[in-house]
Amino acid sequence: MTNDYKQEVQTLLVRSKIGFLATQGEWGVETSMAPFALDHGMILLHLSTLAKHTANIENNPRIGLMVCTPETEGASPLALPRLSLQGEVSLVPEDRYPAAQAVYIQQIPDAEMLFSFADFRLFQFSASRIHWVGGFGKARNVPLDQWQKFTGDEV
């Protein structure tokens, strides 16, 4: 089971370039979308300070993050493999910034120009809880040490 499931989690992370954020907003919980990059277990998010989710994160850095296999014609919308993570967001520290920026641009090349915009910041999401749904009747928690192993490899 572990090997298959590792491969399924990695496949999901390769197929999806975007994450869905749940943040605490002024009028309750909010959802938003942001591209993400994977940096050895950390999830990098490059967000504009003009966006509402960024203000929400500054008020409350504990967020939810979902990565879901993209919908395709013919695939059942009920059974798309997905990961639901909970954790905390912080600014990428200055000494890690150049390396993290390079990793982010490698995975999301379209974002390169945004790094010259004054309103963008590079954040890192560190997961504390991870739940994986692989399809019908296939779900489990992902222990954090396994997550590190799964995402430490090249995916």
List residues binding a second copy (CB under 8 A): 15-18, 20-25, 27-33, 35, 62-66, 68, 70-72, 76-78, 80, 82, 84, 86, 108, 110-111, 114, 128-129, 133
In angstroms, rounded to a whole number, what is the distance separating the alpha carbons of residues 89 and 134? Answer: 26
Closest CA to 113 of 123, 121, 105: 105
Q: How far is the CB of 113 from a second copy (least distance, A)?
A: 10
**CB nearer to a second copy: pick between 52 and 149:** 52
**CB nearer to a second copy: pick between 6 and 17:** 17
- The whole-angstrom distance between residue 73's C-alpha and the CA centroid of its chain comes to 24
Q: How far is the CB of 2 from a second copy (least distance, A)?
A: 23
As a dihedral over the C-alpha atoms of residue 120, residue 96, residue 36, residue 69, rounded to 10 degrees, the angle is: -170
